[in-house]
Structure 1
């Protein structure tokens, strides 16, 4: 790195953080911040954006930040630098989730270019998919992408198991919708039409009156009695798509960060082939339902995300906070 000028280093780091902020996060809370010091980027959890009702342990927050870490790594590799990553480097600083340094120069491979190109294109889908199935060879590749990051992506082919996942998702959604604190927490991150906020879920990002998928997977009620949402044709599809579960062998903070990196690697590869994903975390936010899934369907592995994969005509725009809002730059003396 000694051959790089200060301007080149600064530009590379800002490019990496610009990529990081495009990571998916629960309710688009964007619960991260970054500190730069020389050639090092520190990724920190933003506790003010933690979902204290639905995510008291911070599991979903760390998964979100893990996805941001994956984007950081990909951006540096796409620029020709080998990222040197330390996850949870300081036990006395729990908010410090990772440090990333610009390592030696490396040749940029085609797969890195493929994934990097999808960082700002990828979108979360919140409805059904068209009937076209996800090709088996692509599913196999997505499974291997998750394994690269130490997680397991399990496509659920059993109709009975899919019905169980749908039923638990619907049950959790019904229970949470009756809980005032759960509802208020979701509404905090719901944007009304015309909002200029660069965080939360835009009103155009979900259907006003969603069609039921088969089997039906309940979506979050971001409108909650308001006539918010989009009437666009891209949401007028009823297939549930391919249901899959992302799991890890353990359930530590390290596992959660790894799950986020694996999830984002899967999502970017899928996006490169026109496949979108819808997320369902409702059942995973209720201890007994999550344990039921772990013990009865997942061979003891810990479920970190339930997702549906498929093709859609969705062309909704993403919203993200500018880098200046999440970055603190320090200068070494």
Structure 2
């Protein structure tokens, strides 16, 4: 991923109608972070654009602005996953047009790419619905096999973002607590950091689903600066906490 270059990539592969259909079906399953239509994915002949689409009444609202950027990052993760499955290596530029503030990412493809088994597993996971069951049983990172946890952490690690296993935060004095999980921490805050945080969150969730684990993203409490600062003090992490991915037990282990 190329981040921050104020230029658009050169024209790439021209997407066929069949490929466009795959891309459109996939992006509909990205995490929306509590918003109805936080993005628009526009598939042009030779590029894919992800455009922020926060409704006018919500613009300027801190929570909606944060969650909209994070949701766009989730859409970007799903789009790039689909591009790989279609046999192309995605090339991404973030915020590539200074005259279009709403354009958060542009994806093109120049080189062929052979999808790996992990790519196939994550793409299948796009269409699965792990984590929506009423029987969701959280499992802290320490309760999971180390290899499983590390695979999910690696999947969610992108430039400028770390996935940090954290213990539960116990609520006190009417303050909100937090379940144990994988904390999404960015080097910087702002729209770029939030966009990257969404990409990391979605990639990690797809990896968990591919491994048979349900998961639940936690985003809403991070809207307040006070909560984020308290979490930094509690966990001792350096950086900007953006969201949390709570992992669950696999149905097989729960039934055992």
- After TM superposition, the score normalised by the length of structure 1 is 0.63
- Structure 2 counterpart of 1:77, from 76, 79, 84: 84
Higher relative contact order (CA 8 A, sep 6+): 1
Instruction: Please tell me whether residue 270 in structure 1 is matched to residue 208 in structure 2.
Output: yes
Relative to structure 1, is the Cα distance of residues 49 and 125 closer, same or farther in structure 2, using a 3 angstrom cutoff? farther
- Counterparts of 2:87 and 2:147, CA distance in 1: 29
Answer whether contact 1:31 1:49 (CA < 8 A) is retained: no
Instruction: Count how many residue pairs are aligned between Structure 1 and Structure 2.
Output: 237
Call closer, same or farther: CA 1:55–1:126 in 2, change over 3 Å.
farther
Matched residue, 1:171: 175
Shift of 1:92: 2.5
User: Hey, what does 2:152 align to over in structure 1?
Assistant: 142
SS at match of 2:97: coil
Q: Does 1:283 align with 2:212?
A: no
Q: Secondary structure at the match of 2:98?
A: coil
1:13-64 per-residue CA deviation (whole Å, 9 max, x = no partner) reads 2311221121011125231112232121111011218855864461211111
Partner of 2:191: 253
Q: Following superposition of structure 1 onto structure 2, how do residues 85-124 of structure 1 map, counting pairs within 5 Å? A: 85-124=92-131
Structure 2 residue aligned with 1:14: 21
Q: Distance in 2 between matches of 1:68 and 1:41?
A: 12
Whether contact under 8 Å (2:138, 2:246) holds in the other structure is: no
| Farther-moved stretch of structure 1 (277-286 vs 126-135) | 126-135
Asked whether the equivalents of residues 29 and 49 of structure 1 are also in contact (C-alpha less than 8 Å), the reply is no
Give the distance between the partners of 2:98 and 2:77, measured in 1 at CA: 21
Classify 1:301/1:148 alpha carbon distance in 2 versus 1 (closer, same or farther; 3 Å): same
- The alpha-carbon distance between structure 1 residues 131 and 280, as it changes in their structure 2 partners (threshold 3 A), is closer
Q: CA deviation at 1:294?
A: 2.5
SS of 1:118 mapped into structure 2: helix
Query: Is this contact kept in 1: 2:82–2:123, CA < 8 A?
Result: yes
* Alignment correspondent of 1:151: 161
Q: Is the 8 A contact 2:169 2:234 kept in 1?
A: no
Match of 2:48 among 26, 41, 53: 41
Contact 1:149 1:259 in 2 (8 A): no
Offset of 1:284 from its aligned partner?
A: 1.1
Q: TM-score, normalised by structure 2?
A: 0.80
Contact 2:66/2:191 (<8 A) preserved:
yes
- Structure 1 residue 253: Cα displacement: 1.6
Map 1:192-203 → 2, pairs under 5 A: none
Structure 1 position 69, deviation (Å): 0.7
Query: In the TM superposition, what is the alpha-carbon distance from 1:107 to its structure 2 partner?
Result: 1.6
In structure 2, the partner of 1:129 is 137
Contact 1:247 1:302 in 2 (8 A): yes
Q: Which residue of 2 aligns with 1:311?
A: 249
Match of residue 66 from structure 1: 73
Return the offset for 1:248: 0.7
1:63-98 deviation digits (Å, cap 9, x = unpaired): 111111111111111010111211111123111111
